[in-house]
Amino acid sequence: MKKFIFIKTSIEGVFIIEPTVFGDERGYFMETYQANEFRDAGITAEFVQDNQSKSVKGVLRGLHFQYTQAQGKLVRVIKGEVFDVAVDLRKESKTYGKYESAILSYKNKKQFYIPPGFAHGFLVLSDEAEFTYKCTNFYNLDDEGGIIYNDPEIAIKWPLKEDEIILSDKDKSYKKLSETSTNF
């Protein structure tokens, strides 16, 4: 029995993943990753690092990428709800500069797979959210880059108003995609 449904998105290589959840009055159990099923779906990534963050409503983290040590990410929410976004930075891609998004929550248990060559960000919609992600490459502070979240050329439809969004100083400093060099 397959334990995951892999939903292709409008951008090649990006998937929304729905796990099979086995539950009863005691609670639930689910697998969050299984190499063979992911490989059969075309996701051959090898994950080398797991991360977790906690944020309050309105926090927008992103849009982040690494210049030379690109990271693929398998992301999910273990508490709360977020609006998650992947922006295609692969210059040879027919969807360069386009984005795909998904609502991820503790309730829906969906995951989002973002391959290397993308900028990634998320906006917290619930009072707080805990967010986990597996990465295909190690984080390197000196290799970090980003794109401003409200780049009009990308035109992400964030589900909160501008004055409800909380950004770090670093995320406020990023420029538009057309003003940012990438190596993908």
Are the beta carbons of 146 and 107 closer than 8 angstroms?
A: no
Q: Is 93:123 a contact under the CB 8 Å cutoff?
A: no
Whether 64 is a known active-site residue: answer yes
Q: Which helix (H) or strand (E) holds 88?
A: strand 81-88
Q: What is the dihedral of CA 17, 77, 143, 68, to 10 degrees?
A: 0
Selected catalytic residue, list 64, 99, 120, 174: 64
List the catalytic residue out of 99, 113, 133, 174: 133
Contact 159, 125 (CB under 8 A): yes
Residues 57 and 67: their CA atoms lie apart, in Å, by 29
The two three-digit tokens of residue 144, written as one number = 């970090």
Dihedral in degrees, nearest 10, Cα atoms 75, 82, 96, 16? 50
Burial of 124 (0-12, 13-18, 19+ CB in 10 A): buried
What residues are labeled active site?
A: 64, 133
